[in-house]
Amino acid sequence: MVLTSVGKMVGLQKKTSGIRNICILAHVDHGKTTLADCLISSNGIISSRLAGKLRYLDSREDEQIRGITMKSSAISLHFVKGDQEYLINLIDSPGHVDFSSEVSTAVRLCDGCIIVVDAVEGVCPQTQAVLRQAWLENIRPVLVINKIDRLIVELKLTPQEAYLHLKNILEQINAVTGALFTSKVLEERAEKETESESISDTAPGDQIYDWSAGLEDTDDSHLYFSPDHGNVVFASAIDGWGFGIEHFAKLYSQKIGIKPAVLLKTLWGDYYLNTKAKKIMKGDQSKGKKPLFVQLVLDNIWSLYEAVMKRDKDKIEKIVTSLGLKIGARESRHADPKVHLNAICSQWLPISDAVLSMVCNKLPSPLDITAERVEKLMCVGARTFDSLPPETQELKSAFMKCSSEGTAPVIVFVSKMFAVDAKALPHNKPRPLTQEEIAHRRELAKRRHAEKLAANQGKELSEKPPSETSSEVTGNTGDTKGEEQQLTGQVETMTSKAVKQEADNKESFIAFARVFSGVVQRGQKIFVLGPKYDPAECLYKLSSECSATNDLPLVPHMTCCTLENLYLLMGRELEDLEEVPAGNVLGIGGLQDFVLKSATLSTSPACPPFTPLNFEATPIVRVAVEPKHPSDMPQLVRGMKLLNQADPCVQVLIQETGEHVLVTAGEVHLQRCLDDLKERFAKVQISVSAPIIPFRETITRPPKVDMVNEEIGKQQKVAVIHQTKEDQNKIPEGIQVDSDGLVTISTPNKQATLSVRAMPLPEEVTRLLEENSDLIRTMEQLNTSLNEDKKTHEINQKTLDRIKEFKQKLEQNLQGRRWRNAVDQIWSFGPRKCGPNILLYNFEGYKRSVWQCLGNAVKEVSKYRDFDNSIVSGFQLATLSGPMCEEPLMGVCFTVEKWEMNKVGEMVSTSSQDSGECDAVEHKQNEETTPTSSCTDDVCSTNEHQDSSESVPKSPEKISKHKGEVSLADCYGPFSGQLIATMKEACRYALQAKPQRLMAAMYTCEIMATAEVLGRVYAVLSKREGRVLQEEMKEGTDVFIIKAVLPVAESFGFADEIRKRTSGLASPQLVFSHWEIISSDPFWVPTTEEEYLHFGEKADSENQARKYMNAVRKRKGLYVEEKIVEHAEKQRTLSRNK
């Protein structure tokens, strides 16, 4: 097919009904990029012979070397079907689990997707993940079952077996879709139930739950993949063929004389052809007949493969002539039969026609966007669509119309930023010269040549000096123009060279975006809305009519920018565009200073930011990076900023220690980020630390048995002295520790005493807190705004319901005597006020709850009121870095059982309270008392600030009060600071009074391996502390699927080792799943006789938890207790060796 011009593409962009935005999703190595190659070759962008070998959309060098896609890239294709013309914006996405964030960015911009499944491997873990991502974004999938040639050539299945195998794969995929659908229906049904419950006050006995009822009523037939629906294509992308059954239905309807509609329904399924009666009958298997699909479709493909592979010339000729194909002599004589096969198949059943016509028929155009998807995109966080301002709700119609009129508001979503070499930008490319320019240059060259000849002749003729000069003068006058032009040309080329060199060193960022409404024009001014932007707050300040061109007041999370360049994305190429109408995917230049990773652009300030992207993989692998030469530090910092912008999943942090840390999703992702840093963004040599593995610290219940499974307490202790000595060392004087772990500690100035106890939280509660961290953060924000008496916008009912549900779940899980009333006594969560640890208060005279937002807020005026935030801050600090190796805590509950304050301490609190109130009275001239800030030193500073700012003379008592307060703060610093430090210490000692444990991050690991390498896979897993959860054999193959968990700490080099040991037959997929307690005690030493006999005096067998703990302590520069000399008897002095 001929190459389509850019002009043609621009014309097609205006017809919204003919646009299809699609992405290709699949597990790694299932053939996405090869399929994309076949589709691209249909547009003449690449040769059809190279399709599958070139991997055109893998434009990076490391993608070509590794053979996997790492970045999603887009290309626009033109497809003609009958008299309809379509523009297909195709996005190819990675299948490797490390790059699943790229899939999220691609899926957000599309309306439909092609799911590719390998006919041999079937549904793999990543296939399920991409189906889930497509489902979450409400986009419609179609299916391509690829690599069918492997069933013929590798597995050598008969057509009948292949049919059963394909049927099985389809069932598996539909099972995944069905599971997603069922969960959605049940969720909606549960929501309706709760709504109806709140409306109707029926007696509790009348309600009967019938969960299946909701499923039976809802129609789910359109969701499933079935060849007779036309949403399945059977293909072999490497051999260039693919078909939907409608192709064969048309073909055979003429031959057999059965209507195509009947054939469409019966070609797939248990039907067979009764040749005598020329009828299609049901129940092929019971009668032992061949199904129609095998008889009419698969048999033909199998016989073609057989003929070509066996080089049966007569049969091949017969097939080719009967199909009416023309095969070139080069292909038919080629030594590799695959080339011949490709030539026949790609003409007979071209894959591009089959796939693209399915896309155009089955996938929606941008006009068909569903109301559900629009509402989902517009509602950030816990807000419902109805709670958005009315101006914002009006934008929904603009979304639905997807109109390209001048009046429609422009709404664009940028899903990611990607870096492009500045040389690749259209305006930096050498452009072809026009005919006039060529003629003009030819004239210039001729003139120069003539002038040179004239000058030379003049020199030869004139021998006398004066005449020489005169001739030169005459020559020069004619030549000045040419020389001037030459000079200006030289100057231009020099400047352009300098500019080019600058451009070469610079990476240009292009935003990967889609227009949802309106027409985007080059040079247009537009608002950039950050993810925290709130249209409700903004519309108070601005009118909804204002545009980005006006001078506007400062609004948080909103900036204004100009769209410098618009590009048509053509794989490796970019083409300049002047304007882009709604419904198209495009690249936008000049946003790198305004957009970090993703953003919403709009001309209307009422537009809400879109919901953030759903990322499947969480970044967990950290490394510290530093330049080899310290002078290169600024380049490295700049490079890391650029890398952070260019990759949707990477995180860049600077730790307290000053290290620059890179957080990535896995090993392959880490490798790619480091390569990018070295070669593209920083362009300096860097040295990388060993991976920084995150751990968590926790406590457990005291164990019942010791290390040799003897009951504790029954055995006689041998090393009692050893033990007591350690216990004495742990706790300094001035701190009391009870037998049951209650720690009592006083502040340095002895004005307050705290008693704190630590308890392990049940696992379910820890999990619940982790899952609801966003909700806890929302609660915290609501509470702060309530405390500060801010005018909050109406708290969304849905959020309140979620908070209530969360509270109920906590109450269900915290049962028993120890947890009585615990949920109502929750003071704070930590670390960072939303972590998986809890602080409870259990002393008289104080009431403050995290559940204020539910309407039971209590205005607390007591002696504790002023200092409670200090206690909470101390708890936050303690949970952020535990005593074992300064890692965050997890699953620990601290209870403050006693908080006593001396009279002086109370006086401090009341005096600061009074001073705060006096100030408030002076400041606002009203009698209401306002709660002052939490800690006294803050109060001091605010008072001082107000002293200086107001010229009203202060009363002398007031000043003396300040002095009194400062004197109370004495040599130990402000009282609130002492409380923070004391609370932190109390929490640490309370932790150490209980059995401490480390928690390790765990990966779930899915490995597909054949039976002969199973043993080796198990060996590698057990060597790396892995634990196999299940193994199952895939039906119809000799492949086993092994599911295991593996500590992140042991996972480095795991994939490579498995590949080496199994000769490439097994490759693992690692995804972060959970935190798990390491059962061994890091501080354990043998104490009983049995333990001595079993482990020896030094307990020589390596303690895994201790090894991890010491490694972290070493990295952080903390004290590590270890022997410098391990084997003294082996040491010899150098002099002895002479």
For the stretch 566-601, pLDDT in tens is 999 998 889 999 999 999 999 999 898 899 889 999
Q: Is the pLDDT of residue 477 over 50?
A: no
Average pLDDT on 104-108 reads: 92
Average pLDDT on 1049-1076 reads: 89
The strand pair at 140-146 and 585-589 is best described as: unpaired
Q: Mapping DSSP to helix (H, G, I), strand (E, B) and coil, where does residue 628 land?
A: coil
Average pLDDT on 623-632 reads: 94
Q: What is the pLDDT of residue 604?
A: 86
Give how far the C-alpha of residue 238 lies from the chain's centroid of Cα atoms, to the nearest Å.
31
Average pLDDT on 363-377 reads: 89
Average pLDDT on 364-370 reads: 90
- Tell me the H-state helices in 583-694: 633-646, 667-676
Residue 722 to residue 718: CA distance in whole angstroms:
9
Q: Is the pLDDT of residue 519 over 60?
A: yes
- DSSP structure string for 528-555: EE-TT--HHHHHHHS-TT--TTS-----
Q: What is the pLDDT of residue 960?
A: 37
Q: Mapping DSSP to helix (H, G, I), strand (E, B) and coil, where does residue 947 land?
A: helix
Q: What is the pLDDT of residue 1?
A: 46
Nearest Cα residue to 240 out of 37, 56, 92, 477: 37
Residue 542 to residue 602: CA distance in whole angstroms:
15
Least confident of 406-415, 461-470, 933-942, 1074-1083: 933-942
Structure tokens at 29: 């190595």
In tens, the pLDDT along 644-667 reads 999 999 999 998 778 899 999 888
Nearest Cα residue to 675 out of 639, 702, 711, 701: 639
Q: Is the pLDDT of residue 884 over 60?
A: yes
Give how far the C-alpha of residue 656 lies from the chain's centroid of Cα atoms, to the nearest Å.
25
- Count Cα atoms within 13 angstroms, Cβ side, for 1109: 26
In tens, the pLDDT along 768-818 reads 998 888 888 888 888 887 777 655 555 667 778 888 888 888 888 888 888
Residue with tokens 């092994």: 1042
305 in Cβ contact with 241 (< 8 Å) = no
Q: Please tell me which of 459-468, 797-806, 949-958 the model is most confident about, judged by mean pLDDT.
A: 797-806
Handedness of CA 149, 150, 154, 160 (dihedral sign): negative
Q: Is the pLDDT of residue 694 over 50?
A: yes
Q: What is the pLDDT of residue 1132?
A: 59
Q: What is the pLDDT of residue 1018?
A: 94
- Tell me the H-state helices in 223-336: 245-256, 260-266, 284-287, 292, 299-309, 313-323, 329-333
831 upstream amide cis, omega within 30 of 0? yes
Per-residue CA distances from 1019 to 673, 1005, 1012 (Å): 31, 15, 13
According to DSSP, the residues that pair with 575 across neighbouring strands are 568
Q: Is the pLDDT of residue 90 over 80?
A: yes
Greater model confidence, 857 or 655: 655
Structure tokens at 687: 């040295």
657 in Cβ contact with 1116 (< 8 Å) = yes
Q: What is the pLDDT of residue 190?
A: 74
Greater model confidence, 243 or 476: 243
Residue with tokens 């239905």: 249
Q: What is the pLDDT of residue 999?
A: 93
The count of residues in the chain is 1138
Average pLDDT on 114-125 reads: 91
Greater model confidence, 965 or 353: 353
Q: Mapping DSSP to helix (H, G, I), strand (E, B) and coil, where does residue 442 land?
A: helix
Q: What is the pLDDT of residue 874?
A: 92
Count the neighbouring beta carbons within 10 Å of the beta carbon of residue 1126: 8
In tens, the pLDDT along 719-758 reads 444 444 444 446 677 788 887 888 898 888 888 888 999 9
Per-residue CA distances from 950 to 254, 930, 954, 958, 966 (Å): 97, 19, 9, 14, 21
60: CB partners within 8 A, 6+ apart: 70, 71
Least confident of 762-771, 836-845, 993-1002: 836-845
Average pLDDT on 1076-1087 reads: 84
In tens, the pLDDT along 886-939 reads 999 999 999 998 888 876 555 554 444 444 444 443 343 333 333 333 333 333
DSSP 8-state code for residue 432: P
> To the nearest 10°, the Cα dihedral for 580, 582, 586, 590?
70
Q: What is the pLDDT of residue 1127?
A: 63
Structure tokens at 665: 């999703």
696: CB partners within 8 A, 6+ apart: 887, 888, 889, 890, 998, 999, 1075
In tens, the pLDDT along 603-621 reads 988 888 898 888 877 888 9
Residue 124 to residue 117: CA distance in whole angstroms:
8
Greater model confidence, 789 or 42: 42
Least confident of 51-60, 217-226, 465-474, 972-981: 465-474
Q: Mapping DSSP to helix (H, G, I), strand (E, B) and coil, where does residue 705 land?
A: strand
Structure tokens at 559: 């900036």
Q: Is the pLDDT of residue 486 over 60?
A: no
**Residue 857 — very low, low, confident or very high, per pLDDT cuts 50/70/90?**
low
Q: Is the pLDDT of residue 639 over 90?
A: yes
Q: What is the pLDDT of residue 141?
A: 94
Residue 31 to residue 52: CA distance in whole angstroms:
9
Q: What is the pLDDT of residue 379?
A: 81
Q: Is the pLDDT of residue 350 over 50?
A: yes
Count the neighbouring beta carbons within 10 Å of the beta carbon of residue 598: 23
Q: Is the pLDDT of residue 858 over 80?
A: no
In tens, the pLDDT along 532-576 reads 788 877 776 665 556 655 656 677 788 899 999 999 999 888 999
Least confident of 83-97, 188-202, 760-774: 188-202
Structure tokens at 574: 């970019």
Q: Is the pLDDT of residue 359 over 70?
A: yes
Nearest Cα residue to 619 out of 686, 670, 660: 670
Share of the chain above pLDDT 70, in %: 79
Q: What is the pLDDT of residue 69?
A: 92
Q: What is the CA radius of gyration of the chain?
A: 37
Least confident of 710-714, 1000-1004, 1019-1023: 710-714
Structure tokens at 282: 């049901």
Q: What is the pLDDT of residue 371?
A: 87
